[in-house]
Structure 1
Amino acid sequence: MSTELSTNLELMQDKYPMKFGSFEEERLHRKQRLAASFRLFSLFGFDEGVAGHITARDPEYPDHFWVNPFGMHFSQVRVSDLLLVNDEGKVVEGNSNMLNRAAFAIHSSVHKARPDAVAAAHAHSFYGKTFSSLGRLLDPLTQDACIFYNDHGLYNDYSGVVYETEEGERIAECLGSKKAVILQNHGLLTVGHSVESAAWWYITMERSCHAQLLAEGASTSPIPVAHEAALATMQHVGSETAGWCCFQPLWDKIVRLQPDFLD
């Protein structure tokens, strides 16, 4: 781990966690980052029909979360399109006919089990779902993959589309206190203490899946990072501050490219 990166992350401690003057201010911040995350997921090709959802816990009502409407392409999601859902699956703000039942089944359980998690992200991205079919954890083959070293789980009980909260509870149990879980034969799910970190964990985990698939295609025995180095690297680049920080350039990019998501 470079001294420069460590120093830069220390400087970010003054900016994260962010401070807000009111629930309204924090709510708008989370909704804007949530809408931005959908646009970024679309930009990176993480869309697959109507599959996939990212949620953000409401700061004033922690048993409520904001989520994308069912059937709306990630590239079209705006702040004003987001739905607010309570812990009973009732849409309390937005179009009540547009709730993704699978999103509620998974995310309601994750948010309930992880009060520390502000956001959760799940999609059927190409390399994530491909890697998930192997039924194994990521290896620490690169610095970026070390983000997940000893910090992700494997849910290996795929039984079809998730519509029941009971399965969501089993996924949450497998996630535990970690930042991510590989859903075998399904895809990836990440959580974070901010919308920014949850989205970034997903983006870099998808890329790490891609990297491992390529490495194993080129060699029968790619060389992993040693345990102590992998653990030290995870503690640096896998921190919540690092996750939040890595999202900032993507925020700047999507604001410049697609400012309409702020509507």
Structure 2
Amino acid sequence: MRPPAPQPRPPFLADTATGLPIPGEPDPSGPDEARRHRKQRLAAALRLFGRHGFGEGISGHISVRDPEYPDRFWVNPFGVSFRRVRVADLICVDAAGRVVAGSHQVNPSAFVIHSQIHELLPGAEAAAHGHTPHARALGALGRLLDPIDQESAAFYGRQVLYGDYQGPSVSVEQGRDIAESLGGNRAILLRHHGLITVGGSLEEAVHWFLTYESCAQVQLLARAAGTPQTFSHEQAVSAGAGFGDEQLGRFSFQLLWDEITAEQPDLLHE
């Protein structure tokens, strides 16, 4: 018997994994244009962290791999508030921890964590790290996100708890241990510390971070009120395929980019 003919795609569904009309990724003409694009998105991401109140003094960093030199990454400088970072303030750091572009210094924790993530995980083009309140509370409980809604399903089977706290992350060995523990996951929750998310683009990594923190808040609220009902395995996989789609993560950041650049255009100063 012949297999049934495939049904035509309904006209209201776009030809993407999610069926959403998500545009394709930009196609830079060369490394300079690609670098400028990444730096602008990085500055915007840092301002978004500031708008969400994710600053904790000198703590927290977001990095993106350089498009021309894969052993280098761009990151926010030490001692500059998320709320004030501009493209001009960003620094580029090499595999030895030397600042090869920019006039500021690197946060030692940013180097030891992000350098190892970028070195050991080729698919991690970007990494976001912060000491956010709800992720820290969830980590203190020793719990990961339960699949209680569509957003949290994006992390179903793609998150890990790291409990080997050894003080502030200032050694490459500890950064390597964190990166190895993260492995192919999307998020690593550091008990007594904070949250790290990664992605195949800066846009993805930041979207996953914002989503994880929001989901942690929802889970804590739900558990404080009663016993949350979780998805079945099949439901979690289905929801995760949609809300965990990489294209959707990237495009969701684009909406935030439009907002923050309209509100704070000075971030683009080079």
TM-score range, shorter chain: over 0.9
Q: Which residue of 1 aligns with 2:251?
A: 245
Say if 1:229 and 1:112 are closer, same or farther in 2 by CA, change over 3 A.
same
Say if 1:154 and 1:6 are closer, same or farther in 2 by CA, change over 3 A.
farther
Give 1:113 shift.
1.1
Cα distance per residue 1:96-125 (max 9 Å; x no partner): 5x2100000100000111111110000011
Q: Which amino acid in structure 2 is aligned with residue 203 of structure 1?
A: L
Q: Which residue of 1 aligns with 2:62?
A: 54
- Are 1:260 and 2:266 counterparts? yes
Q: What is the 5 A alignment of 1:18-29?
A: 18-29=26-37
Aligned residues with identical type, % of pairs: 46
Give 1:159 shift.
1.1
Q: Which amino acid in structure 2 is aligned with residue 142 of structure 1?
A: D
Q: Which residue of 2 aligns with 1:117?
A: 124
Q: Which residue of 2 aligns with 1:74?
A: 82
Using the size of structure 2 for normalisation, the TM-score is: 0.92
Secondary structure (helix, strand or coil) at the match of 1:249 reads: helix
Q: Which residue of 1 aligns with 2:52?
A: 44
Q: Which residue of 2 aligns with 1:171?
A: 178
Report if the CA contact (8 A) 1:69-1:81 is conserved.
yes
Q: Which amino acid in structure 2 is aligned with residue 231 of structure 1?
A: V
- Are 1:226 and 2:232 counterparts? yes
Task: Give ranges in structure 1 of 5+ residues lacking alignment.
Answer: none
Cα distance per residue 1:219-248 (max 9 Å; x no partner): 0x2101111111111122112111101111
Larger Rg: 1 or 2? 2
Report if the CA contact (8 A) 2:13-2:21 is conserved.
no
Q: Which residue of 2 aligns with 1:208?
A: 215
Q: CA RMSD in A?
A: 1.6
Secondary structure (helix, strand or coil) at the match of 1:20 reads: coil
- Are 1:15 and 2:12 counterparts? no
Name the CA distance, whole Å, in 2 between partners of 1:39 and 1:130.
Answer: 24
Report if the CA contact (8 A) 1:149-1:234 is conserved.
yes
Give 1:136 shift.
2.0
Task: Give ranges in structure 2 of 5+ residues lacking alignment.
Answer: 1-9
Using the size of structure 1 for normalisation, the TM-score is: 0.94
Name the CA distance, whole Å, in 1 between partners of 2:61 and 2:128.
Answer: 6
Give 1:171 shift.
0.6
Report if the CA contact (8 A) 1:34-1:195 is conserved.
yes
Cα distance per residue 1:26-52 (max 9 Å; x no partner): 101100000000000010111111100
Say if 1:177 and 1:53 are closer, same or farther in 2 by CA, change over 3 A.
same
Q: Which residue of 2 aligns with 1:188?
A: 195
Cα distance per residue 1:49-71 (max 9 Å; x no partner): 11000001000000000011111
Give the aligned length: 258
Q: Which amino acid in structure 1 is aligned with residue 179 of structure 2?
A: A
Name the CA distance, whole Å, in 1 between partners of 2:75 and 2:174.
Answer: 19
